[in-house]
C-alpha cells in the first residue's frame, strides 16, 4: 500500500494511504503532509523542518508515526516519532540500532521493520511484545521473549550495559522488510521470509490456537503483498510480476490467481477493496489492473487504467473510486465502471501534492 522513494526531483520521499484509503500521507524533504482524499484537501501540515522518509497515519485519527532520512541529526533514520497532529508535538520517541525501513499500525499494534528484524509493539502502552527475524524458515523460533528487549531504547540490544553494535545488514532483507503488512482490523502480520523464493510468513499475533505459517506463494522472490482488512486473505506478487495470487491466511491454501500479463515488470503496490471483492495492482508497464476476486481462476483484469509513472493505489471505502498517488507529485481519483457499463474508468479529478496554496483544514 505504501511506496518509499529513494530519489526525488520534486522533494517527495514517500507516499502512502491510511488503512481505509480516506487519507493520503506524503513525506518530503520539508516535512510531511496529510491530504483528505474526498473531497481532496490538505488537512494537516506536520513537521516542516526536516526530511521525512516514512509516514503512517492511524485511520482518521490525530496519531501519526514518522521517520526521518537522517539528513538532520534530530530526524535520524533510526528514530521513530509518534506525533499528535492536534497537539502538534511528538508524544513518544523510540530509538533503534538499525535504520527503520517500514511502519504499520492498527488500533492495537505498531509494527516497526528494520533492515533485518521486525518488532511488534502494543500501541496503547508502546511496549514491545515480540521480535522476528526477516529471513527465516518454518523451523525458526517463533519470537524473542518480550522481557529480553530493552523497551525504550536500542531495541534488540542483548546487554544494555554494553555498547550496541549495529547488526549485519542484508540489502535483500532490507528490501523484503519494506513489504511487511498488518491487517487493519485484526492483528495478522505477513512478511516475506526468503531472499531466494516467494515464501511469506503469516503470523496471527493474538491467536494462540492458530500457528504461524509459511506460505509458498511464488517460485521467485516476493515483490509486493497485502492483507485484506480482516486479515483472512493475502494477495501476493513476485519479482516477475506476471501472476497475482490470493491465499487463505488460516490454511495457507490458494484461493485464486490472476494473470496481469506475459511480460516481466515491477509491481509497485497491491490493495484489496474494503469488502475484499476487488483487488488493484499498480505496475511498471504504465497500467493499473483491477480484478474481481470472485472471478474464475487465471482471469485477467476487468478494468485497466493507463497510469504512466510509479504510483500507489487504493479503493475508496465505498468501492466507487480508485485513489492513485504518483511519485511525480499528483493525486488522481478515478470513478470505477459499474457492472454492464464497460471496462473503462473515468478520471474524475487531479490535484498537485506540492501545491503550497492548498487550503488547510483540520480532519
The answer to whether the bond into 143 is cis (omega within 30° of 0) is no
153-155 and 89-96 beta bridge pairing:
parallel
The confidence score (pLDDT) of residue 281 equals: 98
State how far the Cα of 115 lies from the Cα of 177, in Å rounded to an integer.
6
Q: Can you give the pTM of this predicted structure? A: 0.88
Other beta carbons less than 10 A from residue 240's beta carbon: 18
Query: What pLDDT score was predicted for residue 45?
Result: 74
pLDDT at 230: 97
Q: How far, in Å, CA of 68 to CA of 72, rounded?
A: 8
Distance CA 111, CA 102 (A): 8
Q: What are the strands of the beta sheet with 127-133, ordered from one edge?
A: 100-105, 109-114, 117-122, 127-133
Grid cell, residue 200, equals 511469506
For residue 74, give the DSSP letter: G
pLDDT tens column, 300-339 = 999 999 999 999 999 999 999 999 999 999 999 999 997 6
Residue 6 has what pLDDT? 52
pLDDT value, residue 136: 66
Q: Three-state SS for 146?
A: helix
Q: How many residues does the chain have?
A: 363
The number of CA neighbours under 13 Å toward the Cβ of 163 is: 2
Q: Do the beta carbons of residue 157 and residue 150 sit within 8 Å?
A: yes
- Give the 3-state secondary structure of 298-319: CECCCEEEECCCCEEEEECCCC
Distance from CA of residue 183 to its chain's centroid?
Answer: 10
Determine contact, residues 335/346, Cβ cutoff 8 Å. yes
- Consecutive sets of 10 residues in the chain, 363 residues long: mean pLDDT of each? 56 94 93 94 78 95 94 91 92 95 97 95 96 70 38 30 45 91 97 96 88 95 98 98 98 96 96 97 96 92 93 95 95 87 89 64 39
Helix locations, the chain, DSSP H = 171-177
Amino acid at each position: 500500500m505504501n511506496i518509499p522513494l529513494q530519489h526525488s526531483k520534486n522533494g517527495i520521499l514517500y507516499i502512502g494511504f491510511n488503512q481505509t484509503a480516506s487519507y493520503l500521507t506524503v513525506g518530503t524533504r520539508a516535512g510531511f503532509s496529510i491530504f483528505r482524499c474526498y473531497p481532496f484537501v490538505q488537512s494537516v501540515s506536520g513537521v516542516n523542518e526536516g526530511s521525512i522518509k516514512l509516514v503512517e497515519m492511524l485511520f482518521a485519527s490525530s496519531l501519526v508515526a514518522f521517520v526521518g532520512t537522517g539528513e538532520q541529526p534530530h530526524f535520524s533514520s533510526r528514530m521513530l516519532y509518534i506525533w499528535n497532529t492536534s497537539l502538534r508535538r511528538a508524544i513518544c520517541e523510540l530509538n533503534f540500532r538499525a535504520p527503520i525501513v517500514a511502519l504499520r499500525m492498527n488500533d492495537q499494534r505498531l509494527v516497526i521493520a528494520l533492515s533485518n528484524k521486525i518488532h511488534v509493539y502494543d500501541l496503547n502502552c508502546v511496549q514491545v511484545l515480540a521480535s522476528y527475524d526477516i529471513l527465516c524458515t518454518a523451523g525458526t523460533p517463533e519470537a524473542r521473549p518480550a522481557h529480553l528487549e530493552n523497551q525504550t531504547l536500542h531495541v534488540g540490544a542483548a546487554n544494555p550495559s554494553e555498547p550496541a553494535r549495529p547488526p549485519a545488514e542484508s540489502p535483500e532483507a532490507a528490501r523484503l522488510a519494506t513489504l511487511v503488512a498488518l491487517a487493519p482490523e485484526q492483528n495478522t502480520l505477513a512478511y516475506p521470509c526468503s531472499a531466494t523464493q516467494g515464501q511469506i510468513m503469516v503470523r496471527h499475533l493474538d491467536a494462540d490456537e492458530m500457528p504461524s505459517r509459511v506460505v509458498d506463494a511464488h517460485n521467485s522472490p516476493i515483490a509486493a503483498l497485502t492483507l485484506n482488512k480482516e486479515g483472512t486473505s493475502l494477495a501476493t506478487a513476485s519479482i516477475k510480476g506476471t501472476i497475482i495470487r490470493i491465499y487463505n491466511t488460516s490454511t495457507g491454501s490458494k484461493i485464486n490467481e490472476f494473470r496481469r500479463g506475459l511480460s516481466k515488470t515491477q509491481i509497485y503496490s497491491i490493495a484489496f477493496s474494503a469488502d475484499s471483492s476487488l483487488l488493484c495492482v499498480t505496475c511498471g508497464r504504465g497500467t493499473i489492473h483491477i480484478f474481481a476476486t470472485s472471478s474464475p481462476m487465471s482471469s485477467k483484469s476487468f478494468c485497466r487504467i493507463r497510469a504512466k509513472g510509479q504510483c500507489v493505489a487504493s479503493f475508496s471505502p465505498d468501492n466507487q473510486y480508485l485513489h492513485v498517488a504518483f511519485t511525480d507529485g499528483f493525486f488522481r481519483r478515478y470513478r470505477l465502471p459499474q457492472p454492464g457499463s464497460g471496462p473503462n474508468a473515468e478520471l474524475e479529478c487531479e490535484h498537485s501534492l506540492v501545491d503550497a496554496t492548498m487550503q488547510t483544514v483540520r480532519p
